[in-house]
Copies of this chain bind each other. A is one copy, B any other.
Amino acid sequence: MQKRRDFLKYTGMAAGSFLISATGSGCGGNSSTTSGSKLELTFRPYDLQLKHVFTLAGNSRTTTPVVITQLSYDGFIGYGEASLPPYLEETQDSVMKFLASLDLEQFHDPFLLEEIMDYVFNVAPGNYAAKAAVDIALHDLVGKLVGQPLYRLWGLNPENTPDTSFTIGIDEEDVVRTKVKEAEEYNILKVKLGRENDREMISTVRSVTQVPLCVDVNQGWTDRLLALDMIYWLKEQGVVFVEQPMPKELLDDIAWLTQNSPLPVIADEAVQTREDVLPLYGVYSGINIKLMKCGGLKAAREMVTLANAMKMEIMVGCMTETSCAVSAASQLSPMARWGDLDGNLLISNDIFDGVKVIGGKVILPDRPGIGVNLEPGNQLFE
């Protein structure tokens, strides 16, 4: 199988120095093997193959590197993931170096989640994707230990998940039309803007579909008057919100834009961690929370609480990721107004089965933890 071969070629490379400890345990909540009461972290690099060339305001690519983590305790296994798109600082090497530096065996109880994550956050600054890879695996493990999906432990109604947007990258007209036609299942499309051809992009999409759109400018506009003019035009085209219209440093311009905009203005690049939320009061209408930016589910939930208190809208987003990290982010999504949880749908070699999109809506698995199983044939940590 292609997937299995893709993985195996990395196994040799990563074995040894990056393998903190072998567990010998089974997969996905299989408690037939008991590894004792130690918290054991293992991890492997993996390269995601994108179905389409992915174009942002800044670059194009066909793969996304990730690192898959496994946290085992008492025969249960939690899975996590760090996704490492090239426009961010972290790499597979930096993530594996960070993970190898951790001593999680000092914790004898995975339920000490606050203390464990405080430790992980304080080992080194930055490294948020690496931290998320631990946080996700730990939440998954705790959910499996109590036999409950994470959304249930958080008191959330799985029926309240949002529709997910599906991303249409910047591309040739023909390609855009093809992508939009392929995306007919979705009730909202995200169109990447921020180049010269913004109006053409929207018109091309509109030539094929009339579903609501949102746009992600990725900081691509620099003049607030032109930006406001564009937003008014976008509203007429059935766009429902605008993500990161201008460079995040232009706080005053963005605050002015938000105040005058007929559409909600959502922060993405401007909001990475918990610490970024409070200073954005009055600057944006809402925030896009991504596990890889903030360091995982614990931080993300705290950002939801902060945004709610500030009466800001909440969007839950993702990177290009396997169903592991997307299923984790989806656990939060009943608290979000908008979901951008299509990262696993953009890849051809997913190794996890988890969250689904049915009729455009995020459907949470009724399984413990983050709700994922390894796809058959992928014995990641054997």
Chain B residues near A308: list those with CB within 8 A: 302
Contact A156 B114 (CB under 8 A): yes
Chain B residues near A152: list those with CB within 8 A: 111
Chain B residues near A114: list those with CB within 8 A: 154-157, 334-335
CB distance from A333 to the nearest CB of B (A): 13
Contact B298 A309 (CB under 8 A): no
Main SS at interface, chain A: helix
Chain B residues near A155: list those with CB within 8 A: 111-117, 142, 298
Q: Determine whether A358 belongs to the interface, using a CB cutoff of 8 Å to chain B.
A: no
Name the one of B112, B274, B275, B302 contacting A157, with C-beta atoms under 8 angstroms. Answer: B112
Q: Determine whether A13 belongs to the interface, using a CB cutoff of 8 Å to chain B.
A: no
CB distance from A29 to the nearest CB of B (A): 15
Cα distance A142–B148 when bound, in Å?
A: 11
- What range describes how many residues of A lie at the interface? 20 to 34
Q: Determine whether A251 belongs to the interface, using a CB cutoff of 8 Å to chain B.
A: no
Q: Determine whether A24 belongs to the interface, using a CB cutoff of 8 Å to chain B.
A: no
Name the one of B147, B275, B306 contacting A306, with C-beta atoms under 8 angstroms. Answer: B306
Contact B115 A157 (CB under 8 A): yes
Q: Which partner residue on chain B sits nearest A116 by CB separation?
A: B155
- Interface-central residue, A146, A309, A310, A334, by most chain B CB under 10 Å: A309
CB distance from A148 to the nearest CB of B (A): 6
Q: Determine whether A305 belongs to the interface, using a CB cutoff of 8 Å to chain B.
A: yes
Contact B111 A309 (CB under 8 A): no
Contact with B along A306-338 (1 / 0, CB 8 A): 101110000000000000000000000011000
Q: Determine whether A102 belongs to the interface, using a CB cutoff of 8 Å to chain B.
A: no
Q: Which partner residue on chain B sits nearest A152 by CB separation?
A: B111
Q: Determine whether A123 belongs to the interface, using a CB cutoff of 8 Å to chain B.
A: no
Q: Determine whether A278 belongs to the interface, using a CB cutoff of 8 Å to chain B.
A: yes
Contact residues of A between 90 and 130, Cβ < 8 Å to B: 111-117
Q: Determine whether A277 belongs to the interface, using a CB cutoff of 8 Å to chain B.
A: yes
Chain B residues near A111: list those with CB within 8 A: 148, 152-153, 155
Chain B residues near A116: list those with CB within 8 A: 155
Contact residues of A between 120 and 166, Cβ < 8 Å to B: 142, 146-148, 152-157, 160
CB distance from A145 to the nearest CB of B (A): 9
Chain B residues near A148: list those with CB within 8 A: 111, 146
Contact B115 A310 (CB under 8 A): no
Cα distance A298–B114 when bound, in Å?
A: 17
Chain B residues near A154: list those with CB within 8 A: 114
Contact with B along A241-285 (1 / 0, CB 8 A): 000000000000000000000000000000000110110000000
In the A-B complex, the 7 residue pairs with the smallest Cβ-Cβ separation, listed nearest first, are A113-B155, A305-B305, A111-B152, A114-B155, A146-B146, A302-B305, A115-B157
Residues of A at the B interface (CB closer than 8 Å) are: 111-117, 142, 146-148, 152-157, 160, 274-275, 277-278, 298, 302, 305-306, 308-310, 334-335
10 contacts between A and B (CB under 8 A): A111-B152, A111-B153, A112-B155, A114-B156, A142-B155, A146-B146, A146-B148, A274-B309, A302-B308, A302-B309
